[in-house]
Amino acid sequence: MRPSIRPRGAPDRHAALAQYRRRAGIYDLELALFEPIRRRAIERLAPRRGEVVLDVGCGTGLSFDLLEQGVAARGRIVGIEQSPEMMERARQRVRQRRWRNVSLLCAPVEAADIPVNADAALFHFTHDILQRPEAVANVLRHLKPGARVVASGLQWAEAWRWPTNLFVLPAALHSVTSLEGLRAPWAALAAAIPDLDVRPLLMGGVFIASGTVAAAR
């Protein structure tokens, strides 16, 4: 049975686990349309050689290739994903590519025991995670001062752009468990990163937000 979607309220972890259990086998194909957004988001993140990067809600590991190109062998990627089925596919990807610098944590982001202080963090199409302030806070606690943060995903366009929202609605119903926060999915990040730069794409139906963690005083 298809998990119910809440128009309002906090995301439902059990519904999310059921949703991604169902989608794991075809997830890579489903996301193909949005690969240009992934590339732009990672370009904005600009991972550098030797850096440590958190891939928050890493799914099947579709971002690992581009992140690896940035951090190279001396860097490290830590992928966090709560769905065991999605995580297993991420593990398969790591084994097939013989990456030795990718660590995987199968846990809800808010409860993940993140073992590093990272230079950058990517939230790519992770709406439910961004709507959990405790999850965002756990990631930010494990970023170095000056670390870069990039988030991307669906958002409601302005009301007059109703054709765009007719695209956003079914896409959201297929990938989130609550529509709460789609007006400003990045709000929890913006509360912690005052210089967050939010740019709309695809007629306002998608966003990429980027900023840096404040330096320690």
Q: What is the pLDDT of residues 21-53, one digit of tens each?
A: 999 999 999 989 899 999 999 999 999 999 999
Range of the domain at 156: 13-212
Q: What global pTM score does this model have? A: 0.94
Which whole number is the average pLDDT over 141-164? Answer: 96
Is 5 within the bounds of a domain? no
Q: What is the mean pLDDT of the chain?
A: 94
pLDDT of residue 5: 59
Is 91 within the bounds of a domain? yes
Upper half-sphere CA count for residue 210 (Cβ side, 13 Å): 12
Domains of the chain: total: 1
Is 3 within the bounds of a domain? no
The residue count for the chain: 217
CATH of the domain at 82: 3.40.50.150
Is 90 within the bounds of a domain? yes
Is 161 within the bounds of a domain? yes
Which whole number is the average pLDDT over 111-123? Answer: 97
Encoded tokens for 137: 């806070």
Confidence of residue 9 (pLDDT cuts 50, 70, 90): confident
Tell me how far apart the terminal alpha carbons of the chain are, to the nearest angstrom.
Answer: 51
Q: What is the dihedral of CA 5, 10, 12, 16, to 10 degrees?
A: 70
CB 70 within 8 A of CB 39: no
pLDDT of residue 190: 96
Percent over 90 (pLDDT), the chain: 91
Is 4 within the bounds of a domain? no
Q: Is residue 175 pLDDT above 70, yes or no?
A: yes
Is 162 within the bounds of a domain? yes
Q: Is residue 2 pLDDT above 50, yes or no?
A: no
Confidence of residue 215 (pLDDT cuts 50, 70, 90): confident
Residues 6 or more apart whose Cβ sits within 8 Å of residue 171? 154
Place of tokens 């013989």: 98
DSSP per residue over the chain, as a string? -PPP-BSSSS--HHHHHHHHHHHGGGHHHHGGGGHHHHHHHHHHH---TT-EEEEET-TTTTTHHHHHHHHTTTSEEEEEES-HHHHHHHHHHHHHHT-SSEEEEES-GGG----S-EEEEEEES-HHHHT-HHHHHHHHHTEEEEEEEEEEEE-PPPTT-HHHHHHHHHHHHHH-SB-TTTTSTTHHHHHH-TT-EEEEETTTTEEEEEEEPPPP-
Nearest residue to 130 via CA among 61, 198, 202, 52:
198
Q: Is 197 exposed, middle or buried (0-12, 13-18, 19+ CB in 10 A)?
A: middle
Which whole number is the average pLDDT over 142-158? Answer: 97
Is 217 within the bounds of a domain? no
Which whole number is the average pLDDT over 146-164? Answer: 96
